């Protein structure tokens, strides 16, 4: 049984592209293509006949997007409004990737390469937003504080490991439950491990990324305000 589980943990290669001596395409990549296709189809179908007064599925779609918009703009503030769509993309993709185990696919986030790439994208996004908002000079100056340099390593590492560990943990527990009690119980357990935990992790990933971003966007303002206050105080004296 242990060997069976170990085999499940390995990342299988779905097929190999026969160029440059063969490029292996892992399962996670193929499942990601499926997710992309589903999301594109959903976007086309759901936004085909938009009305001013929403009815039916448009109501749900608008409520969902409103929730995400308000959530992220609440954290980032009005200044970070242009970064909201990519954070929403993160949460939607990771959410779908985590709960796709319900439909019998291997969740792509079970592959550590996928979560590492996502964490790398997240940290690049945070640094890029810092450079865009404050300029490269201030960005370089921020590394005078060595904690910021350390953050460049620890943040993506923890983002990557958190997502990977959670999905893998849920996967292992689900395999064990399926092995021990094949009937009935896995359905209930799947509701918690696949649906609830998966969506929660997607939420946490996007939430932490937006928090890091909010820090990058706003930290300076507080200092400036404090400096201004100090100037005013001293001027008053």
Give the footprint of another protein on this chain (CB under 8 A): 6, 9, 158, 161-162, 164-166, 168-169, 203-204, 207-208, 211
Q: How far is the CB of 158 from another protein (least distance, A)?
A: 6
Q: How far is the CB of 200 from another protein (least distance, A)?
A: 8
50: closest CA among 65, 39, 38? 65
DSSP state of 107: P
Let me know the angle formed at the C-alpha of 182 by 178 and 188, rounded to the nearest 5 degrees.
70
Q: How far is the CB of 236 from another protein (least distance, A)?
A: 34
Concatenating the DSSP letter of every residue in 24-60 gives EEEHHHHHHHHHHHHHHHHHHHHTSS--SS--THHHH
Residue 5 or 50 having the CB closest to another protein: 5
Residue 14 or 204 having the CB closest to another protein: 204
Q: Which residues contact 71 (CB under 8 A, 6 or more apart)?
A: none
Residue 139 or 207 having the CB closest to another protein: 207
Residue 97 or 167 having the CB closest to another protein: 167
Could you tell me if 24 and 13 are in contact, meaning their C-beta atoms sit under 8 angstroms apart?
Answer: yes
CA 70 – CA 231 distance, rounded (Å):
36
Q: How far is the CB of 55 from another protein (least distance, A)?
A: 29
Residue 9 or 132 having the CB closest to another protein: 9
CA 136 – CA 65 distance, rounded (Å):
33
Q: How far is the CB of 20 from another protein (least distance, A)?
A: 30
């Amino acid at each position: 049984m242990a060997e069976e589980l170990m085999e499940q943990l390995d990342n299988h290669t779905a097929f190999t592209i026969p160029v440059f001596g063969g490029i292996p395409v892992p399962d996670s990549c193929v499942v990601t293509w499926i997710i992309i296709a589903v999301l594109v189809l959903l976007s086309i179908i759901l936004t085909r006949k938009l009305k001013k007064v929403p009815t039916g599925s448009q109501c749900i779609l608008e409520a969902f997007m409103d929730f995400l918009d308000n959530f992220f703009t609440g954290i980032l503030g009005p200044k970070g409004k242009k970064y909201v769509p990519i954070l929403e993309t993160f949460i939607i993709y990771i959410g779908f990737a985590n709960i796709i185990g319900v439909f019998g696919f291997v969740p792509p986030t079970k592959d550590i390469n996928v979560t590492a790439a996502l964490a790398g994208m997240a940290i690049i996004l945070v640094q890029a937003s810092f450079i865009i908002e404050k300029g490269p000079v201030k960005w370089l100056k921020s590394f005078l504080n060595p904690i910021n340099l350390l953050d460049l390593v620890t943040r993506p590492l923890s983002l990557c490991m958190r997502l990977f560990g959670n999905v893998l943990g849920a996967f292992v527990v689900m395999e064990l439950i399926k092995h021990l009690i094949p009937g009935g119980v896995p359905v209930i357990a799947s509701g918690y491990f696949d649906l609830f935990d998966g969506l929660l992790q997607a939420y946490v990933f996007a939430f932490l990324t937006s928090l890091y971003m909010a820090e990058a966007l706003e930290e300076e303002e507080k200092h400036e305000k404090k400096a201004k206050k100090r100037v005013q105080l001293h001027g008053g004296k």
